[in-house]
Amino acid sequence: MCPPFFRPAGRRKHAVQPPDSSAPTPSITTPAASAPHVPEAPQLAGLEASVHKLENTVRRFYRLAVMVVTVTAAGLFVSSGGAVVMVVFASALVAVVLHAAARILSRLLHIPQWLSVMLFVLVLVGALSLVVHVSGPELMVQLSHLHEALTSERDALHNMLDSNPLGHAVLDHFPRFLGGNMVPDGHAGTDNGMDFAGSMTNVLTSTFGSVGTMVVIIIAGVYFALSPHLYANGILRITPVAYRSTMRTVLLTTGHALTAWVAGQMLDMTVVGCLTWSGLSLLGMPLALPLGLVAGLANFVPYLGTFIGAVPALLIALSVGPREAMMVAGLYAAIQTFEGYVMSPFIQKRAVRMPPALTILSQTIFGAFLGMWGFIFASPITAVLLAVASRLSAPLPPNEEV
């Protein structure tokens, strides 16, 4: 038996006293027991909302910083080696044309993709060889005469403007390739550690020249078309896993946009070239065939290319007489009207819809940063950017539209 002081308290008879129901219960107030959690619930909710808002702000700032750094790095790379980037883009355009044509042949003949690409290249080379063999000498003679006539008229117009102070000031703001006096800097503001890109640009533009650059573009385009999935999957492999789905969407959208743009623009170029050739022949203008060829090729650049293609014809017409110049100007105006109001809506319904103002602004901006290459390829680049932005962004609700 345990001593009394070792016994549990529950066994003592006087340890637990039953409460007296008649006695009033004293109200004991302690600081911890007064209004538990009632005033703290709104405070906790507000604190959680503030933390969530801060997290969203930090996340948005991080995304904005990454976007700014990426765009800045891409801008520096493009500005330092713009010619190299444009050569890669031109190769992609060639690959798109070859891949689209080869896909049609593959469906018709039930042959592999690479074999259809090689077959289309052989057919294209054979057709060009036949054209050169049949009409090559005459075409070369006409192109030589056109070059001599344009050089003479350009020098005369340049001397006339250069002798005038106002004309001289205007020529100082135009680059050499447009007949002005301004010498393009080429690498202005890019001499800080950009020697490699500059040397690559010089290799492509100076050592090889235009013919060598075209050969590089064609060969690279053929290899791209032979195995497009190899290069696309390579890009996906180096993309972080979280962004691979988005990158895949971007690649597919880019391919579809370029295919549609090239198909529509080739149709537009063919129609404009044939109309120009036929119209100049009916007017009795000399060198109608090369002028039509120049007009068709210049229409690769929408809107502004039409005016550029009209300059040689107007110079040749001015050498014949003012009446002929007015007739040629009217012909090109009629072709431009037909192309703008008939051909462009027809093509845009089936290809890529691009606002005219945005197209012209993109040509100006890309031409200012990348020179002639940027001016030529501004429209397909803008078409790709519009298609990707439209694919990745959510549609605008009707109540939010302007």
Instruction: Give the percent of the chain with pLDDT over 70.
Output: 75
Confidence at residue 331, expressed as pLDDT on a 0 to 100 scale: 92
pLDDT per residue as tens digits for the range 55-112: 878 877 877 787 777 777 766 666 666 677 788 888 998 998 888 888 888 888 888 8
Pairs from 47-51 (Cβ < 8 Å, separation ≥ 24): none
Range with the poorest average pLDDT among 109-118, 121-130, 206-215, 255-264: 206-215
Instruction: Give the count of beta carbons closer than 10 Å to the beta carbon of residue 167.
Output: 15
Confidence at residue 109, expressed as pLDDT on a 0 to 100 scale: 86
Confidence at residue 360, expressed as pLDDT on a 0 to 100 scale: 85
Confidence at residue 249, expressed as pLDDT on a 0 to 100 scale: 92
| Separation of alpha carbons 239 and 224, rounded Å | 20
DSSP 188-216: TT--SS-HHHHHHHHIIIIISHHHHHHHH
| Separation of alpha carbons 32 and 37, rounded Å | 10
Decide which of 334 and 14 is more confident. Answer: 334
Check pLDDT > 90 for residue 275: yes
Instruction: Give the count of beta carbons closer than 10 Å to the beta carbon of residue 280.
Output: 25
Range picked from 199-203, 275-279, 386-390 for highest mean pLDDT:
275-279
**In sequence order, which residues have a C-beta less than 8 Å from that of residue 153 and are 6 or more positions away?**
315, 316, 318, 319
Range with the poorest average pLDDT among 244-253, 267-276, 343-352: 343-352
Q: Which tokens go with 224?
A: 């791209």
Our CA angle for 100, 267, 90, nearest 5°, is 55
Q: Pick from 389, 383, 393, 384: which is nearest to 355 by CA? A: 383
Check pLDDT > 80 for residue 250: yes
Average pLDDT over residues 273-297: 88
Decide which of 286 and 16 is more confident. Answer: 286
Please report which confidence band the pLDDT of residue 189 belongs to, taking 50, 70 and 90 as the band edges. very low
| Separation of alpha carbons 25 and 287, rounded Å | 117
Q: Which tokens go with 343?
A: 């051909």
Confidence at residue 316, expressed as pLDDT on a 0 to 100 scale: 82
Instruction: Give the percent of the chain with pLDDT over 90.
Output: 8
| Separation of alpha carbons 121 and 222, rounded Å | 8
Residue 209 — left, alpha, or beta (φ > 0 → left; ψ -120 to 50 → alpha)? left
* Alpha carbon distances (Å) from 170 to 165, 166, 175: 9, 6, 11
Instruction: Give the count of beta carbons closer than 10 Å to the beta carbon of residue 208.
Output: 14
Pairs from 339-344 (Cβ < 8 Å, separation ≥ 24): 339/268, 339/271, 339/272, 339/299, 339/306, 343/267, 343/268, 343/271, 343/272, 344/268
CB-CB contact of 296 with 323 (8 Å): no
DSSP 139-185: HHHHHHHHHHHHHHHHHHHHHHHHTSHHHHHHHTTSBGGGT-SBPP-
Check pLDDT > 60 for residue 203: no
Check pLDDT > 90 for residue 217: no
CB-CB contact of 258 with 96 (8 Å): yes
pLDDT per residue as tens digits for the range 18-29: 555 555 555 444
CB-CB contact of 363 with 378 (8 Å): yes
pLDDT per residue as tens digits for the range 307-365: 888 888 888 887 788 888 899 999 999 998 888 788 877 777 667 777 778 888 888 88
Range with the poorest average pLDDT among 81-95, 110-124, 137-151, 216-230: 137-151
Please report which confidence band the pLDDT of residue 127 belongs to, taking 50, 70 and 90 as the band edges. confident
Decide which of 211 and 285 is more confident. Answer: 285
